[in-house]
Structure 1
Amino acid sequence: MNCFTILSLLLWIGTVSANTYTLTYGDDTWICHATFDVAVNHDEHNAIVTTSRAFCTFTHSEGIATFVLPLYPENSRGVNAYALSLGPLNQQGHFGLEIGVDQPATTFANNVQVPAFNPRFDFYFNNLGQPLGPCNYRQGGLQLAAGDGIGVHPYRSCPPGSPRTHNLGRWFSCIIPCNRF
């Protein structure tokens, strides 16, 4: 490699920061978690998202069961997380990304089917690519946690009319039966 290539690579690495997050999502019967890395390129105002783990827990009066889901690209029908730009910088100089998880329906032994989910939320960053917080959970998205398991505080400047947090009632209903994990 020549000096120019090495210098270009080092400059690119310097503009990218990565963090690990877990998104909790689901419905009245299933609580799911997808863990992913978000590598933000603050110069380009975009990110690369890589899914590292996904599982769903079935909560029912008869008991609970946990199902580890296949991941994309190892499995073409696996769980895949992504990031899309929300457009130019806002008035504070922050940029936003829509982060979503595409989880196709998956059938396991005994004909148990984990349903498809497509949770999304908006995530804002400052001009250095440092995370400022999520907004506008939708399509089953419930809560975002950092890699260490601590909840991520909502973004303080969510666009008018967007919910800063989602109703967590379904998550709280799972705490007791799910505390085995």
Structure 2
Amino acid sequence: MKTDQPLPASDCKLPDAVAENLDTISDFYARHKQEVSPAQTAIEKLSRFFGRPAYLLGIVIVSVLWISANLFADFFGWDVFDEPPFFWLQGLITLNAFLTTTTVLIRQNRMAHLADQHTHLDLQVSLLTEKKTSKIIELLEDLRRDMPQVRDRPDAEAEELDKPADPQAVLGAIENQDRDC
């Protein structure tokens, strides 16, 4: 279960780079949370409420009680307020389905936008990491060639890996592969 309470601090200190990354992530979520309107917040709370198993159980119980009350109303001397086929109950369930669907879709749209931002960030970090890795391999190969005590031998795999990938070429290959499928 997700809470807003922080986890207890452990005795080990995080490396500065990890702490900085966690701060960046926290700032990202804080900015994103500030951009959410009060109406969006209310809709998301309602959506989370609709998404609970207890809510479904409540709907089933209310429906069973509604149907039972109308079927056995004569037995208890009550007035029947919704005769079979229970048009009022159908209307209420339809309204509930409409509200549930709409609130879930609104929340999913915002979550999809947030997921798109995460994906874009992941892609940027991956591209940067790939460039850095290629540069490190290139520098290691240069160092290997320049060191007199290390035998200079060709390494085709290292030569291939020290070249940064062309993101446009990779994207084109992915698109061509998708068209072929």
Same structural fold, with TM-score higher than 0.5 when normalized by the shorter chain: no
> Which of the pair is proportionally richer in helix?
2
Higher relative contact order (CA 8 A, sep 6+): 1
TM-score by length of 1: 0.19
Select the structure of larger CA radius of gyration: 2
> Which of the pair is proportionally richer in strand?
1
